[in-house]
Amino acid sequence: HRDLTGLAGLAPWEILYLLDEAQQWVELNRQSHKRMDRLKGLTIINAFFENSTRTLLSFEIAGKRLGADVVNMHAAQSSVKKGETLIDTAMTLNAMHADAIVIRHQSSGAVRLIADKVDCPVLNAGDGQHEHPTQGLLDALTIRTEKGEIAGLKIVICGDILHSRVARSNIHCLTTLGADVRVCAPPALMPADIEALKVTPYHDFDAALAGTDVVMMLRLQQERMEGQFIPSPREYRHLYGLSLDRLAKAKPDAMVMHPGPMNRGIEIDSTVADLAGRSHITRQVEMGVAIRMACLDVLTRKARGLEGWA
Ligand code: CP
């Protein structure tokens, strides 16, 4: 079987295949009758070792809309709290014969570790600072839906790049699809290896915004800070916050995006986050359900005796 632990190394056609597969579910999700039986009889386990609203709920809704039985394991209420190791937890989940396991974990690489121990496809719902592949895919689908094509677009990702698995997955996805990606962060929140990711780094947000088609804002991940010197919230907003004045430096039709959860008034002003016609933040959430339906469908095809994505 094949897992989805990251977007690094995927070919353009593989990413486009998942986006095309998701397209059909966007329409279905807007109808009043949303239930399919494509994954009927399958069991999907969502194992979340870290908090989530969007990813957990949308994976649960995605599995249920395709007819699967979906169960959620929250680490806070599990035997992880009694000292069970990650490997033992993985072996326990495996013994229940799930057909797919969706995992969010605070440690980079934890999802790969589990994927190597279990017999079914594993989908990464965000691991530490590493990757959040379905977020990268849903962002690409949101952009493609609005702009038609991703190749050639100028896209700026601004914020806590260092700690952001969302930034990493988006960088892999968008550069693979031919976008010109700029990243902008305070010096302390820019990864040392950023040049290797085929993006252009900036510390000056006004310069980074000039002429962009898409402006993607990120949250400061206070929970992952390890003593980095960062500006105060007030200074951060002044230097890196997206206000209406600042948005005017991007193209007149530039899309505003944010993976959520947002810290309104810090990295993004409410006037921008709620700007009709320009903010695509709720559209991103809508696309998230369709992308997760496509990923669950495609990754379980082999187990259902169908031609897979591999
Ligand atoms: N964007 C995202 O992953 O949000 P959650 O943490 O709420 O799942």
49, 52, 223, 282: which to mutate for ligand 1, most atoms within 8 A of CB? 52
Question: Which residue has a Cα nearest atom 5 of ligand 1?
Answer: 52
Identify the pLDDT of residue 182: 98
Residue 261 and residue 228 in contact, taking contact as beta carbons nearer than 8 Å: no
What does the chain come to in residues?
310
Number of neighbours of residue 269 by Cβ within 10 angstroms: 19
Closest ligand 1 atom, residue 58 Cα: 8
Residues lining ligand 1, Cβ inside 6 A: 52-55, 126, 132, 135, 259-261
Binding residue ranges for L-aspartate: 82, 165, 219
Say how far apart CA 191 and CA 14 lie, in whole Å: 27
Q: Model ipTM?
A: 0.97
Residue 71 exposed, middle or buried by CB count within 10 Å (0-12, 13-18, 19+): middle
Say how far apart CA 281 and CA 131 lie, in whole Å: 20
pLDDT in tens, the chain (310 residues): 899 999 999 999 999 999 999 999 999 999 999 999 999 999 999 999 999 999 999 999 999 999 999 999 988 877 877 888 999 999 999 999 999 999 999 999 999 999 999 999 999 999 999 999 999 999 999 999 999 999 999 999 999 999 999 999 999 999 999 999 999 999 999 999 998 999 999 999 999 999 999 999 999 887 878 777 778 889 999 999 999 999 999 999 999 999 999 999 999 999 999 999 999 999 999 999 999 999 999 999 998 999 877 5
51, 55, 222: which to mutate for ligand 1, most atoms within 8 A of CB? 55
Say how far apart CA 292 and CA 126 lie, in whole Å: 13
53, 139, 219, 289: which to mutate for ligand 1, most atoms within 8 A of CB? 53
Number of neighbours of residue 202 by Cβ within 10 angstroms: 18
Binding residue ranges for carbamoyl phosphate: 54-55, 104, 132, 135, 260-261
Tell me phi and psi for residue 117, to 5 degrees: -105, -15
Task: Compute CA 275 distance to the chain's CA centroid, rounded to the nearest angstrom.
Answer: 22
Residue 251 exposed, middle or buried by CB count within 10 Å (0-12, 13-18, 19+): middle
Residue 259 Cα to ligand 1 midpoint, Å, equals 7
Number of DSSP helices (H) and strands (E) in the chain, helices first: 11, 9
Question: Which residue has a Cα nearest atom 4 of ligand 1?
Answer: 54
Residue 8 Cα to ligand 1 midpoint, Å, equals 20
**Structure token pair of residue 2:** 């094949």
Residue 55 Cα to ligand 1 midpoint, Å, equals 5
Dihedral sign computed on CA atoms, order 281, 283, 286, 292: negative
Identify the pLDDT of residue 310: 59
First-to-last alpha carbon distance for the chain, in angstroms, is 8
Residue 30 Cα to ligand 1 midpoint, Å, equals 22
Closest ligand 1 atom, residue 288 Cα: 1
